[in-house]
A = this chain, B = another copy of it.
Amino acid sequence: MDRESKLVERIARAFRAGAPKKDAKHRAALRLGIGDDAAIISPGGENDWVFSCDAFLEGVHFLAKTHPPDSVGYKSLVRATSDLAAMGAIPRYFLLTLAIPASRTGAWLEQFLNGMARAARSMKMVLAGGDTTKSDKVSISVNVIGEVARGEGVTRSGARPGDIIYVSGRLGRAQLGLDLLLHGNIRAKGSSRTGTAHAVHALRSILQPHLYPEIRLALGAWLAKHRLASAMIDLSDGLSTDLTRLCQASGVGAEIQSTAIPSLALPAALSKYKGRSGLDPLQMALNGGEDYELLFTVPPRNVKKLREAPGFSQLTPIGEVTRTKNVVLVGPNGTPKPLNPQGWDPFRR
């Protein structure tokens, strides 16, 4: 178990102990609590409510000098909402807790709010409230609230042996963008110091998934509505880490094929980077974080119906759920190796 998951388990334990019996009704209404992508509360009407929260901190998740404030605003809302996509919920509201230095309440805040407002419009979300205070560094916490038809929210825990494991999109794109931003001698606006117009355009599209990620709301909602996925999680911390989490929650294992994983074909403009150790496409696909693609499992009988899914052409079967509790990567030569969680873990030293 990765360190962050262990911490979450400790927190959950602290609050289970000695909980009053009078809570029984509300515990029952809480269909799903801490440990999944989001919490589901079932007030008894047509729809369940889905809640999630996400911290986005200067110096941990973004760098003041590297990341444009517009991206910080955009991304902090989008990444929180990705947890709703992973349950199949439709996002409705969000609350913003914002701590900023007084020196950032001018242009920085303006651009931050513009970016976040753009994300809110594109996802049709309404700001419902928040809290603001001062601090040395920017600290953002976003709370998102969504809806899903009663009982249709997809959790991490329903995967069964034999289910097919799917992933959306190409993995490692966000990691590539981050890597270029940090080490590639380019700026976030997408200009390289020596670049031609063509190269600039290519760079911009490479930075996009890191700075302004798109999330899979339509796919998630469709899978939930048609009850096709047995389990689902969004890829925020990397495939190796998030697949392990899904398997642990479901009490199963997985066998995935390295040749099947939709890793990056590195763009020609980056050919000179190919030799760098950080840019191994398979490693980036397995361990790069922040792709916000969906990883989900589908019982074999449902596989045919997947063809109707929004963005079906971007779905890739990468392996199968197994009865043993091991997560295994099968190499190009057919040799299986344990796949350890090597994605983003804030508490790894």
Of residues 12 to 60 in A, which have CB atoms within 8 Å of B's CB atoms? 12, 14-15, 17-20, 22-23, 26-27, 29-30, 33-36, 38-39, 41, 43-45, 47, 49, 51-55, 57, 59-60
Q: Give the distance to chain B from A202, nearest Cβ to Cβ, in Å.
A: 30
Per the CB 8 Å criterion, the residue count for chain A at the interface is 76
| A7-B132, A57-B133 known; A23-B113 Cβ under 8 A | no
Q: Is there contact, CB below 8 Å, between A53 and B141?
A: yes
Bound-state Cα–Cα, A161 to B236, Å: 53
A109 lies within 8 A of chain B by Cβ:
yes
Residue of B nearest to A346 (CB): B134
Q: Is there contact, CB below 8 Å, between B346 and A133?
A: yes
Give the copy number. 2
A173 lies within 8 A of chain B by Cβ:
no
| A51-B145, A133-B57, A346-B133 known; A139-B99 Cβ under 8 A | yes
Bound-state Cα–Cα, A290 to B29, Å: 32
Residues of the B chain whose Cβ atoms lie less than 8 Å from the Cβ of A10: 109, 113
A179 lies within 8 A of chain B by Cβ:
no
| A53-B130, A105-B7 known; A15-B117 Cβ under 8 A | yes
Option from B23, B33, B131 in Cβ contact (under 8 Å) with A54: B131
Of residues 250 to 308 in A, which have CB atoms within 8 Å of B's CB atoms? none
Bound-state Cα–Cα, A243 to B61, Å: 38
Residues of the B chain whose Cβ atoms lie less than 8 Å from the Cβ of A349: 102
Among A17, A35, A120, A129, the most chain B Cβ lie within 10 Å of the Cβ of: A129
Option from B39, B44, B47 in Cβ contact (under 8 Å) with A93: B39
| A102-B349, A126-B19 known; A53-B12 Cβ under 8 A | no
| A15-B120, A43-B47, A126-B30 known; A55-B139 Cβ under 8 A | yes
Q: Give the distance to chain B from A292, nearest Cβ to Cβ, in Å.
A: 15
Q: Is there contact, CB below 8 Å, between B135 and A20?
A: no
Q: Is there contact, CB below 8 Å, between A126 and B55?
A: no
Q: Is there contact, CB below 8 Å, between B54 and A96?
A: no
Residue of B nearest to A92 (CB): B26
Residue of B nearest to A8 (CB): B132
Of residues 182 to 218 in A, which have CB atoms within 8 Å of B's CB atoms? none
Q: Is there contact, CB below 8 Å, between A347 and B34?
A: no
Q: Is there contact, CB below 8 Å, between B12 and A127?
A: yes
Bound-state Cα–Cα, A93 to B7, Å: 20
Residues of the B chain whose Cβ atoms lie less than 8 Å from the Cβ of A98: 11, 55
Q: Is there contact, CB below 8 Å, between A95 and B39?
A: yes
Map CB proximity to B onto A79-120 as digits: 1 under 8 Å, 0 otherwise.
000000000000011011111001001000110011011001
Residues of the B chain whose Cβ atoms lie less than 8 Å from the Cβ of A65: none
Q: Is there contact, CB below 8 Å, between B11 and A96?
A: yes
Residue of B nearest to A109 (CB): B10
Q: Is there contact, CB below 8 Å, between A57 and B143?
A: no
Q: Measuring CB to CB, which residues of chain A are less than 8 angstroms from any residue of chain B? A: 4, 7-8, 10-12, 14-15, 17-20, 22-23, 26-27, 29-30, 33-36, 38-39, 41, 43-45, 47, 49, 51-55, 57, 59-61, 92-93, 95-99, 102, 105, 109-110, 113-114, 116-117, 120-121, 124, 126-137, 139, 141, 143, 145, 346-347, 349
